[in-house]
């Protein structure tokens, strides 16, 4: 199942969460973006480390994450840092934690 970001992950309300059947969230920008980190807020603290991030350029080429780091901010929040060799147009979030997502914040 592929989804563009459901409204609940971008409504700035960390208490509204995706449907339990959500398996993937794809964030697509209109122009390429320099990704540096992502903050995910979840409803179940047990899944904070159960995310995978994938990145694609505007020509749909995969970009590898180097210097991958995760930092637990609190019981429901994790920051995921990646160094990317180029700008990307898509961030694809997969893993068991996706069905517990409440909010996603991305910084360049």
Q: Which domains does the chain have, with CATH numbers?
A: 7-107 (2.60.120.260)
pLDDT at 3: 44
User: d(Cα 89, Cα 55) in Å, to the nearest integer?
Assistant: 8
pLDDT < 50 stretches in the chain = 1-4
Host H or E run for residue 101: strand 101-107
pLDDT at 11: 82
Looking at residue 48, the DSSP 8-state letter turns out to be: T
Q: What are phi and psi of 97, to 5 degrees?
A: -70, -20
Predicted TM-score of the model (pTM): 0.88
């Amino acid at each position: 199942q592929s989804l563009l970001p459901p409204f609940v992950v971008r409504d700035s309300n960390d208490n509204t969460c995706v449907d339990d059947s959500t398996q993937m969230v794809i964030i697509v920008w209109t122009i390429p973006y320099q990704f540096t980190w992502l903050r995910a807020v979840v409803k179940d603290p047990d899944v904070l480390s159960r995310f995978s991030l994938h990145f694609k350029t505007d020509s749909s080429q995969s970009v590898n994450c180097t210097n991958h780091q995760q930092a637990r901010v609190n019981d429901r929040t994790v920051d995921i840092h990646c160094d990317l060799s180029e700008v990307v147009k898509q961030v694809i979030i997969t893993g068991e934690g996706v069905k517990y997502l409440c909010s996603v914040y991305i910084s360049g």
